[in-house]
Copies of this chain bind each other. A is one copy, B any other.
Amino acid sequence: MNPTLVPAMPTFQSASAVASAPIAPDLLEVERILNRTFEGYKGRASDLIEHLSHYRGKRLRPILLLLTAQACGGIRPAHHTLAAVVEMIHTATLVHDDVLDEADTRRHVRTINDKWGNKGAILLGDLLFTHAFHLSSTVGDARACEIIGDATNRVCAGELMQICERGNMSLNEEEYYQIIEGKTAALTECACRLGAMYAGADAKVIDAMAEYGRSLGIAFQIADDLLDLLGEEKTTGKTLGTDLEQQKLTLPLIHMLDHVPSERAEELRHILSNGHADKRSLIRPVLEETRSLGYARRKAEELATTARTALQVLPPSATRAILEQLTEWTTRREG
C-alpha cells in the first residue's frame, strides 16, 4: 500500500479530499452528469436549481459508491450515473429537510425555502427525486431501479417516523436506530451495494459492502447528532441545535434521560419539550454528568469497527485502506 495515499488526517473535510483524490476524474464525470440532467430548465426554475450548487457538500455517497466500485473490480460508466443518482436523492432529502426543520442556513448559504419559500422547495425536492429515478433507469437494468427505489422508500419512511415521533420524549434507542437506519443508512448502504454489484462482485462481497455502508451510515448519523449538540455553526455551516429546537430525541439525550433519577428525567423532559432559549447550555452539564456524550461516541466507534470488519472480505489495497480510514473520520469529523 502506498502510504502517501492515506496520510493521517484530523477532520472529515480533509479526509473527504483525500478519499476523493484517487477517484477525482470519476467525481468530475459525476458532476458533469448532475449538471447535464438539469440543463433544460429556464427562468425562475433554473435559479432554484442553480442555487443547489451552493449545497455542494462532501459528496460522501458518490465517493462511497465509486471507492467501493474501485475496491471491488473497477469503476464502469454505470457507476458514474448511479453515483449522480444517490447524490441527487440525498440533495432532494436535504431540500425537503430544510422545509421540515424551517432551517434558514445550509452550508453557509440561505436555504431554498428561506430564499424562495416552502412551495419552491417542495417542488424542487420532488423534481430532484424524479430526475434521480429517471436517471437510474438509463443504466438499462431494473435491478438498479429496484435497489434505489427500496433505499429511497426506507429514507422517506425513516423521515416520516422521525416527524411522527417529534415531541415524543420517551423515544427509546431501538426507535432511534429505526429512524436513522432509514433516513441515513439506507442510502449509504445502497451506494456501497451498487458500487460492488456493478463492478461484478459476487453476492458475498456485495452483502459485505452493503453492511459496510450501513454501519458507516449509522455511525455518521450519530456523529451528526453529536455535532448538533456540540458543534460550532461557523465550522459546520448549518443551523445547529435544531434537534433540540424540533424536539427530536437523539442517542445522547435518550441515554441521559435513562441515567438520571425519574424525577429529574421528568424535569429534563419538560425543559426539552418547551421553548427554552438555550437548551444546549442547560442540557450540556447533564450530558457530561451521565457520560452520555461518551456513550454515543462509543456506539459510533463500535459501528465504525463493524464497518471495517466487513471490509475484510476484500483483498488489501490502497482503496480498501481509504474505505477503512473513512470509518474513523466519519466518527471524528468536525463539520
Q: Which residues of A pack against B, CB within 8 Å? A: 41, 43-45, 48, 96, 99-100, 118-120, 122-127, 129-131, 133-146, 148-150, 152-153, 155-157, 159-161, 163-164
Residues of B within 8 A of A160 (CB): 45, 48, 120, 123-124, 127
Q: Are A100 and B126 in contact (CB under 8 A)?
A: no
Contact of A123 among B138, B148, B156 (CB under 8 A): B156
Could you tell me if B119 and A145 are in contact, using CB atoms closer than 8 angstroms? no
Instruction: Give Cα A164–Cα B43 distance, bound, in whole angstroms.
Output: 9
Query: Which B residue's beta carbon lies closest to that of A47?
Result: B164
Contact of B137 with A142 in the complex, beta carbons under 8 Å: yes
**Contact present for A134 and B118 (CB under 8 Å):** no
Copies of this protein in the assembly total 2
Report the minimum CB–CB distance from A135 to chain B (whole Å): 8
A153 and B130 contacting across the interface, CB-CB below 8 Å? yes
Can you list 19 A-B contacts (CB < 8 A)? A43-B161, A43-B164, A44-B164, A48-B160, A96-B122, A96-B123, A96-B126, A99-B118, A120-B163, A123-B163, A127-B157, A129-B129, A133-B133, A133-B148, A137-B142, A137-B143, A139-B142, A141-B142, A142-B142
Known: A120-B163, A135-B149, A137-B149. 15 other contacts (CB 8 A): A44-B164, A45-B157, A96-B122, A99-B118, A99-B122, A118-B118, A120-B160, A123-B163, A124-B160, A126-B159, A127-B156, A129-B129, A134-B149, A137-B142, A137-B143
Contact residues of A: prevailing secondary structure: helix
Task: Tell me, rounded to whole Å, the shortest Cβ–Cβ distance linking A239 to chain B.
Answer: 17
Enumerate chain B residues within 8 angstroms of A125, measured Cβ to Cβ. 122, 126
Q: Is the CB of A133 within 8 A of B149?
A: yes
CA distance A155 to B127 in the complex (A): 9
Give 7 nearest A-B pairs by CB, closest first. A134-B149, A137-B145, A137-B146, A44-B164, A130-B152, A145-B145, A123-B160
